[in-house]
């Protein structure tokens, strides 16, 4: 999935992906999650993790979704705040009402590895860690939790994937309104031979 590359008013490269692209990737992500998490759990414990919420009251389901969304965005913000020059003052939370999508935005510049760490924090802490623990403990609800919140990190996975051609030491800015980032002027990008070249 190729990002759109444009230039902002300062001449910096802007890498973004559209919401429809992110939604399509989320649909594609369902199958790998079933194969690599749901199926092994079923073979190991004989339980279908996707039935974990059956017979649960509606209030439980609503709290499950709302609380998860809040924690997801908080994890982005807390990790980025560790690296951002302004700490928590550099973090903004909000909702894109046209898509009913909450967001977390860091206004300070970040190294590529810092941006990736904050971007993948919800996937690791809400998705992969619970999934591994569920495999060990046989907790079906926890496995569903891990699969579901791995799936909700689809946009984060795409954003970090777009960084793969950049050096960890380079500087980027979180895009204020789109899925993507702004490359600081003078940053380096890998060429086809794996070497880094100036982007100005």
pLDDT (0 to 100) of residue 59: 87
Identify which of 106, 102, 100, 101 has the alpha carbon closest to the alpha carbon of residue 77: 106
Largest CA distance in the chain: 58
pLDDT (0 to 100) of residue 190: 53
pLDDT (0 to 100) of residue 195: 46
pLDDT (0 to 100) of residue 102: 86
Name the E strands within 12-168: 13-17, 91-96, 101-106, 109-111
For β-strands 188-190 and 171-174, DSSP reports them as unpaired
pTM of the model: 0.87
Cα dihedral 53, 58, 60, 61 in deg (nearest 10): 60
The C-alpha angle with vertex 10 and arms to 9 and 15, in degrees rounded to 5, equals 80
* Mean pLDDT in consecutive groups of 10 residues from the start of the chain, 200 residues: 88 89 91 96 96 87 90 97 96 86 93 97 98 97 96 94 92 92 72 46
* Tokens coding 188: 């380096």
pLDDT (0 to 100) of residue 87: 96
pLDDT (0 to 100) of residue 106: 97
Per-residue buried b or exposed e for 36-65, using 16+ beta carbons within 10 Å of the residue's own CB: ebbeebbeebebebeebeeeeeeeeeeebe
* Tokens coding 142: 């926890």
pLDDT (0 to 100) of residue 56: 84
């Amino acid at each position: 999935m190729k990002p759109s590359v444009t230039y902002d008013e300062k001449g910096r490269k802007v890498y973004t992906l559209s919401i429809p692209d992110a939604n399509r990737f989320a649909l594609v992500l369902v199958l790998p999650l079933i194969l690599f998490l749901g199926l092994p759990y079923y073979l190991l414990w004989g339980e279908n993790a996707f039935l974990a919420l059956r017979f649960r009251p509606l209030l439980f389901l609503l709290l499950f979704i709302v609380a998860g969304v809040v924690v997801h965005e908080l994890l982005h913000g807390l990790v980025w705040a560790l690296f951002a020059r302004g700490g928590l003052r550099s973090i903004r939370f909000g909702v894109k009402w046209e898509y009913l999508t909450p967001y977390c935005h860091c206004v300070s510049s970040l190294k590529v590895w810092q941006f990736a760490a904050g971007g993948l924090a919800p996937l690791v802490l809400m998705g992969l860690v619970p999934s591994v623990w569920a495999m060990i403990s046989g907790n079906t609800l926890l496995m569903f939790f891990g699969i579901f919140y791995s799936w909700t990190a689809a946009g984060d996975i795409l954003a970090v994937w777009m960084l793969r051609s950049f050096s960890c030491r380079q500087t980027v800015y979180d895009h204020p309104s789109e899925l993507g980032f702004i490359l600081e002027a003078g940053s380096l990008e890998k060429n086809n031979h794996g070497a880094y070249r100036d982007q100005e």
